[in-house]
Structure formats: C-alpha cells, structure tokens
Structure 1
Amino acid sequence: MAGDDVSIHGSWASRWVFILAATGSAVGLGSIWKFPYMTGVYGGGAFVVMFLLFIALLGVPVMVAETLIGRRARLSPANALKALAVHTGHGGKWSWAAFAGMVTALLILSFYSVVGGWSLDYILGVGAGNFQGIDGEKAGGYFAAMVDDPWRMILWHSAFMLLSAGVIARGVVAGLERSLRIMMPLLFVLLLILLGYSLTTGHFMDGVRFMFHLDPSRLMDGLLPAMGHAFFSLSVGIGSILIYGAYMPKQTSITGTVMAVALLDTFVSLLAGLALFPIVFAAGLNAGEGPGLMFVTLPLAFGNVAFGQLIGVVFFVLVAVAAWSSAISLLEPMVAYLVERTRFSRLWVTSALAFGCWFVGLGTVFSFNIWKEAKFFVTDGGAFQLYQWGAAGGLDLFGVIDFFTSRIMLPLGALTFVVFASWVMGRDAVRDELAMRNATLFAVTFFLMRYVAPLGILIVFAAQLFK
C-alpha cells in the first residue's frame, strides 16, 4: 500500500519545511533547558558523548520508522496504523496503540503549556529589571512567588495555549508552515545572539572545556540518563513526527531528512550549552544546579553580568519560541485524527481540544499552590497508599501526569511505531518507502529499527519505570 501523493490535510511545500517542522517539534524545553542541566549534573563531556551515541542508535531509527509510516499512509497516527495493518493482513487493533500516543501528547501539552507560560512571565520579569543585582534567595523567591499564585499561573497558561491553538487552527499550510518559517529561523537567530554574548564573557573556553572534556571514569554515570534523553529529545513516540511525515512530499528522502533533523536538534542542544554555561561561570555560579538552572540559576546570572537584562530577555524569548514550536506538534496529531473521523471543522476541533488540554492543565497549576499538599502513590512507614493529603513523600498531580507520560507512555509509543514499521509492515514495504540505493546502508538502518532500537527502548522503559 502506498499513500496518495498529498495528505487530505495538505502537504509541506518542500523537504526543508518538514525539516523545520520536525526540528521545531524536537527542539523544545528538552534542548534549551534539560540538555544543559543534565550535562552539568552528569559529567559534562562524558554525558555529551553518550547522548550523541544514543541519538544515532535509538532516536534516529525510531524517527525514521514514524516518518515512513506517516508518509506511506498519509493519515493521522491511529488511522495510519489501522490502514497499514489491515493492508498487510493484520488486525486494525494497532490503531489503539497510536490513539494512546495521541492522548499522551495531549496530556503532555496540558503541563507543557504551564511551563511554557512560565517563560512568558520571565520575559516580562527579566525585562522589567526584577533580577538586577539580586542574590540567590531573591531569585528563588521570584519563582516561588510565581508558582504560589494560581491566577498568575492561569493567565500565562491560557496565553500560551491560545498561541498554540491559533497556529493549529489555521491548517497545515496557512498555520503550521507559515509560522514555522518564522519561528525556527528566529530561534536560531536568538541562540546565535546568546552565543555571541557568551564569547564576550571571558569564560567561553571554560564552557567549552566543561562540555567537551571527557572524563572516562564518568561515562557510566550518565549512561541511562543519556539514553533516555536521546530517545525523548527527538519528540518520538507520540505521533507528532508521524503526522508531520504524512505531509512530506513523496520524492523526499526520509533517511537523509531525518538525519538532518537529528543533526539540527543536536546542534541546538550543544549551542544552548555553549551559550549558557559561560554566562553561569561569569556570574560565579555552579553549572550543575539541576532543574533549577533555567528559572533560578540563569535569571540570577543574568542579573549579575553586563547587559544581563537584555540578554535575559533574549534567552526567555528563545525558550518561549522553542516551547511554542513543540507545543503545536503535540496538538496536531489528535486534531488531524478528529478532522478525518468527524464532520467538524479544524477550527472547532482545535478549539475543543485546546480547551480540554487547558482544563487538565489546571491540575498542574494547582499542584504548585492550592493542591500542593495532595500526594499520590505514598509509601508511609512501609504501607502503600494511593492518595494522602499532606504526606511527606509521594507525587503531586503534576508528578503523576509527568511520570505516566514520560516514563510509561512515551517509551511504549516509540516501541509500537518501530516494531510496527520493521515487523508488521515488513522489510519490502520499508525498503520501498525509504527508496535507499545503497543496500548496505538499508541493511544497517533496518537492523537498527528491527533489533537495536526496540531493545534500547525496553532498557529505557525499565530504567525510567524503576529508578
């Protein structure tokens, strides 16, 4: 079975638009925020080396699998797996796995919008000079005051969700393509501005040494974190890349295009580290601060270096754009599915889904303030309780959604797509869709898809589930 030349939703104008779209999906808070702080925590160059290795062995094969499924069927994830499975003589129940992935994307969007809203708040906060000359206690106090105020959080959560829904509602060409043609070049320009500033701090080489000095004794420290982050970095497992593949022109090389996306995503992650660590070092701060790097350590650094107010605004605009480009990719798969299955317009479907995600996101908002005492999966004195108010341990509602999506559903979704492509569709269909002239290169690619990536995903799944 080969899909039509163009999806019923439209098609990208060129290969480069797909690269912009897929890179926009992949380059989000994980590249700008998570990669730098994980590099700081897990040994600098040792973590970077392992990350690059697993991008090649895990991320790229799964991304190839998603893209070829999408382009072959020209449908949303659930309908694509159903149509291709039926064509190959398998049951249509495969669609349920893809449907679960699309629901997972909506759950991720519900809290992603909240965190994206924080970046909007910080654009104004840094621009107003609220971090000029402050100390660590006041930098932490600003963040605490923001998350303690539910109305402030709801305002920015709503603004971010409206921005995301506005792009999706306009369609593939008028919405996604036109916005990504602006957002992605803007993201690279902002990142290069930050990098240029870092060159003037006098600590740029400290950042280079920190990121690329390889201490072999620390390679195992970041093995599993690097494996997990490489897997999640490319935004695979939820159908976003699959639906973008459905809009890819037929003559486009899938493997070459996916490699370009992987290289760009990795390039952005490395540039983010090179841009941010010199600023942290210039302010005399610790690069291994963990998740607090973006919302506490960096604002503190911006408040204590030359031109920090301006550079801080540039940074948080960069974060907001990166989060925005990823957020629209989380909404698109389910929008495409419902447009295919119902008579409702894209505008109505987008509005309904965005409102649902916004509403669920209120749970994340309240997890930081009025519901912060609500804890789930509590082990108190050796006794397990599903829920307890005011427990010392356990997960808040935000933690539950994050755990369920990132540690369970994302790995299972990626496993579904790579197994479906390599085992259900089979070698001949994959060879036809990839159209690779080099037989050896195809054999290596197919081997990675059929054996290496599934095994790696299972290891990531076990490690994320039980750590």
Structure 2
Amino acid sequence: MNMSAKPLMGGHEHWSSRFTFFLAALGVSVGLGNIWRFPYMTGENGGGAFILIYLACAFGIGVPLLIAELSIGRRGGLSPIGSMRKLAIESGASPLWGGVGVLAMLALFLVLTFYMVVTGWTLDYFIQALNGNFSGISKEDSKSLFDGLMANPLRLAFWQGLAIILVVFTVARGIKEGLERAVKILMPLLFICLLFLVVYACITGDFATTFDFMIRPDFSKVTPNVVLAAIGQAFFSIGIAFAAMMTFGAYLDPGASIPKSAVLLVAGDTFVALLAGFAVFPLVFAHGLEPSSGPGLVFETLPLAFGQMQLGGLVGAVFFLLLMVAALTSCIGSFEPMLCWARERWGMSRARAAIISGLIIWVLGLSTVFSLNILKDFHPLNIIPTFAGKTIFDIQEFVATNVFLVLGGLLMSVFAGWVMSEEILRKAFGLSDGVIFRYLRLVLRYVAPVALFMVLVMGLT
C-alpha cells in the first residue's frame, strides 16, 4: 500500500510505503551486535534456555516499549525532543519531559562517534578479503593484521571518514531518494549474504556442535544475571530509546498498525540474530577455533577459518560484506533523528544538516580512533572506580549503552505509562480499551521500569 509523500507538521515527509518503513526500521535494529554478540551470549548463557528467556523479554517487554516509542513519534509528528515535549503539554505535564528526547539524541550521537569507527573496520576487512589476505593465514598473522589496523590512526580515520561520507551522501538525498532507496538495496543484500553463509556453513561446517552450543537448553546456567542480560540484549538489539524509532514513527501514516509493526520488527531482528549464529559458529567449530565475544571473534578468529577452507576468499568477502551492510544500514537510519531535529530547530536543508552532523561525528570520533593507539594508555576517569582503566572508547561505549540508553528507556516507559493520559495513549497506540491495551499499559507502568532499573544498576556495578 502506498502512502503520500506530504510533509508532516514539522515539515517532515511520510514513508512512501509501510514496507519501506519496515525495511528502514529493521535496518536500524539489525547491526553488528546481531552478528557477533547475540550468538555468543546465547552459547554462554544456557543456549536454548537463554533464547526462551530472550524471546519472553523481547516480546513481553521490548514490544510494548517499541510500541510506545513509535506511537509517541507518530502522535507528535516531530523530532524526539519535539514529540516528547508536545505530548507532555498535551497531557498536562511539564514540557521538561522533552529532556527524554534530548537524552535519546545524546545516546545516539555518542554511539555514532564510535560505531562509525567500527563500521570503518568492516570496510577495511572487506577489502582485505577481496585481496586474498586471509589465504593460509596463521593465528599470529591474523592477530597481527588486526593489531596493525588498530595501531594505525591514519588508516582508521580514513575508513571512518569513508563510512561517514557514504552515510552522509545517502541521507542528504532525502527520505525517498536516499534512505528508502538505500534500504531497498542493502536489506535484500544483507539477507542474501546471510542466507548464503548459513547454507555454506551448515553444509561444510560443524552443524551438530553449533546446534548444541546455541539451541540445546542448559537451565543450570540460568541465573538472575542471565535474565537481566537477556533483558539488556533485547533492549539494545531492538534499538529502543535510540531516537531513531521515534523519528521513524513521526514519518508513519495514521492508518498503519503500530502494534503489528512492532511485533514484526522484533521477530525480524531476532530471526537475523539466530541466523547469524548458524552462519558463524559451524565454521568456527569445524576448524577447531574457540568462540569468543566481541570484535575478536569477527576480526581475528574468523579470518583463520576463511584461510583454511575451500572458497575461503569468497566466503570471507561475503561475510565482511554482510558486516559492512549491517553496520551501514544502522548508521544510515541513525542519522535521521539528527537531520529531523536540525531541520526542525534551525530550518536547515537535509544536505547541510547531514554534512554538519557527519563532520561533527568524524571529529569527535577521532577520540575513539586515538584511544586505540596513541591514547590507548590514557584513562581520563581513573579516579572514578566505575571508569578505572577505561579508555576514551570504553567510556563512550559504557556511558551510551549502560547509562543513556537504559535511563532513556526507563524514563520513556514512565512517561508513556504514567504521564500520558489514558485517552491520549490509547489513541496513540490505535487500540480500543481492551485486553491488549491494558496489558501494554501494565508493562509500561510497572514491568518495564523495574526491569530497566535493574539493568541500569547491574550495568553500573
């Protein structure tokens, strides 16, 4: 079904179709964390038991929060800051609730300063794979290859800058010609790469061990911390309190079902995360490699597998193309809230707002680049126990993910559950006063705030 491209109240456009909205929102949700973090957390926290807990958290808590964020965006029709402020006033509350939108924007901006650097790594390794640099590579060579990238600030800054240029060029062209056209190309490409890798890995790799590692439930490993980890992973993976979903909601037409969209988005995000595990771990186990979390698995361990297998050059290139696409789709969608706010606040053109945002992120991102080499022994907040031993990169990641995002999500759930009037909330959700609405309001009032408060405390201790 097509939608008009008329401007919204804040001068913003609608999506041309609900399908492109879905692709764009899924593109923001599906990122590097789906490819390396979710599979590893699954294996280390009880396999199928963790997946069951994750699914309960994603659909039981994540979906209501996502519905609230999209609904606030659509009802407000403005940037996250403008929408929160508008609905607060509409509900007879303080306009200072617009600060939740500010917090979401700060989290987004901080994440992009280091996420664009990591996106640059994927560009570098894609070229490395195309050049056949993984062929016959040893463990020492693989580590040396990654360490060489980390130690070279000019190389890191170049790839970071190139990634930002690609994103800025895309988003500056507008919703229809830029963002929508990009996701129509990149999201199908992502699924083609992912399905190719899953089929190849399951045929040539160790599928049985992967099944045991990821799926077979081990309830002996389930602890309260595992449950909190599942809540946190669901929260971060879906992209809640990240400003992007609220902005995307502002572009959504009034007739679209937000509850249905939220369920489909969470299902799609989870499906990609599970597929990623079956694309990665059969190769890891088949070549006797040790699965590990974070960048080490992707940038050090997997090149060893690619160097030992038939068609390893092709498979390696496809894998890093997958990573590159996942990273770029997240970044492209994540730029949108900044452009929306800049146009709303200062009346900037999209192109100017995109260029200025890109330049600021590139300059601030250099602190991340230098913290990997020149400033790797610089720990600016050593006097604070929580930040002792952390580099600038570590601090940026910690504050954005453990503080800003979680606190923003907690405040947003309180706003939707307690501040917005029941009538306004029901209209925003597009629901009648039935069982589903009452369940969603119950979660937003009690379950989500308590769960996110516990995740916040766990992250700070």
Same fold? TM cut 0.5: yes
1:244–1:192: structure 2 CA closer, same or farther, 3 Å change rule? same
User: Displacement, 1:86?
Assistant: 1.3
User: Aligned runs of 1:94-105 on 2, under 5 Å?
Assistant: 94-105=97-108
- Separation in 2, partners of 1:163, 1:326: 13
- Separation in 2, partners of 1:386, 1:202: 41
User: Displacement, 1:338?
Assistant: 1.2
| Aligned counterpart in structure 2 of residue 420 of structure 1, from 415, 422, 434 | 415
Alignment match, 2:360: 356
Task: Say whether residues 1:257 and 2:261 are aligned partners.
Answer: yes
- Separation in 2, partners of 1:243, 1:218: 39
User: Aligned runs of 1:45-124 on 2, under 5 Å?
Assistant: 45-124=48-127
Q: Does the CA-based 8 Å contact 1:126-1:312 persist in structure 2?
A: yes
User: Displacement, 1:290?
Assistant: 5.1
Alignment match, 2:188: 185
SS of 2:204's partner is coil
Alignment match, 1:301: 305
Task: Say whether residues 1:460 and 2:460 are aligned partners.
Answer: no
User: Displacement, 1:347?
Assistant: 0.9
Alignment match, 1:451: 446
- Separation in 2, partners of 1:415, 1:385: 24
Alignment match, 2:3: none
Alignment match, 1:429: 424
| Aligned counterpart in structure 2 of residue 404 of structure 1, from 390, 399, 421 | 399
| Aligned counterpart in structure 1 of residue 389 of structure 2, from 372, 389, 394 | 394
User: Displacement, 1:459?
Assistant: 0.9
User: Displacement, 1:288?
Assistant: 3.9
| Aligned counterpart in structure 2 of residue 346 of structure 1, from 350, 353, 375 | 350
Task: Say whether residues 1:27 and 2:30 are aligned partners.
Answer: yes
| TM-score in terms of structure 1 length | 0.93
Which ranges of structure 1 fall in alignment gaps of 5 or more residues? 388-392
Q: Does the CA-based 8 Å contact 1:25-1:326 persist in structure 2?
A: yes
Structure 1 counterpart of 2:341, which letter? Answer: Y
Alignment match, 2:207: 204
1:453–1:385: structure 2 CA closer, same or farther, 3 Å change rule? closer
- Separation in 1, partners of 2:46, 2:307: 27
User: Displacement, 1:415?
Assistant: 1.5
Percent identical residues: 40
User: Displacement, 1:437?
Assistant: 5.1
Query: Which stretch shifts more, 172-181 or 7-16?
Result: 7-16
Q: Does the CA-based 8 Å contact 2:46-2:220 persist in structure 1?
A: no
Task: Say whether residues 1:167 and 2:162 are aligned partners.
Answer: no
User: Aligned runs of 1:231-246 on 2, under 5 Å?
Assistant: 231-246=235-250
SS of 2:381's partner is strand
Structure 2 counterpart of 1:198, which letter? Answer: A
- Separation in 2, partners of 1:136, 1:58: 42
Q: Does the CA-based 8 Å contact 1:31-1:272 persist in structure 2?
A: yes
Q: Does the CA-based 8 Å contact 1:40-1:289 persist in structure 2?
A: no
Q: Does the CA-based 8 Å contact 1:102-1:334 persist in structure 2?
A: yes
- Separation in 1, partners of 2:433, 2:55: 24
SS of 2:459's partner is helix
SS of 1:11's partner is coil
Alignment match, 2:20: 17
| TM-score in terms of structure 2 length | 0.94
| Aligned counterpart in structure 2 of residue 270 of structure 1, from 274, 277, 287 | 274
Alignment match, 1:153: 156
User: Displacement, 1:80?
Assistant: 0.6
1:75–1:353: structure 2 CA closer, same or farther, 3 Å change rule? same
Q: Does the CA-based 8 Å contact 1:39-1:211 persist in structure 2?
A: yes
User: Displacement, 1:45?
Assistant: 2.5
User: Displacement, 1:368?
Assistant: 0.8
Q: Does the CA-based 8 Å contact 2:91-2:424 persist in structure 1?
A: no
Q: Does the CA-based 8 Å contact 1:136-1:300 persist in structure 2?
A: yes
Deviations 1:29-71 (A, max 9, x none): 1111211222233343233222222112222111111000000
Which ranges of structure 2 fall in alignment gaps of 5 or more residues? 1-5
1:162–1:5: structure 2 CA closer, same or farther, 3 Å change rule? closer
Q: Does the CA-based 8 Å contact 2:68-2:429 persist in structure 1?
A: no
Q: Does the CA-based 8 Å contact 1:131-1:299 persist in structure 2?
A: yes
Task: Say whether residues 1:216 and 2:213 are aligned partners.
Answer: no
1:133–1:316: structure 2 CA closer, same or farther, 3 Å change rule? same
- Separation in 1, partners of 2:98, 2:200: 48
User: Displacement, 1:289?
Assistant: 5.1
- Separation in 2, partners of 1:268, 1:88: 38
Structure 1 stretches of 4+ with a deviation exceeding 6 A read none
- Separation in 1, partners of 2:306, 2:430: 49
SS of 2:403's partner is helix
- Separation in 2, partners of 1:65, 1:158: 35
- Separation in 2, partners of 1:49, 1:376: 40
Alignment match, 2:370: 366
SS of 2:382's partner is strand
Deviations 1:260-291 (A, max 9, x none): 00000000000000111101111111224554
- Separation in 1, partners of 2:43, 2:299: 15
- Separation in 2, partners of 1:364, 1:205: 39
Alignment match, 1:390: none
Q: Does the CA-based 8 Å contact 1:41-1:289 persist in structure 2?
A: no
SS of 1:30's partner is helix
- Separation in 1, partners of 2:109, 2:292: 31
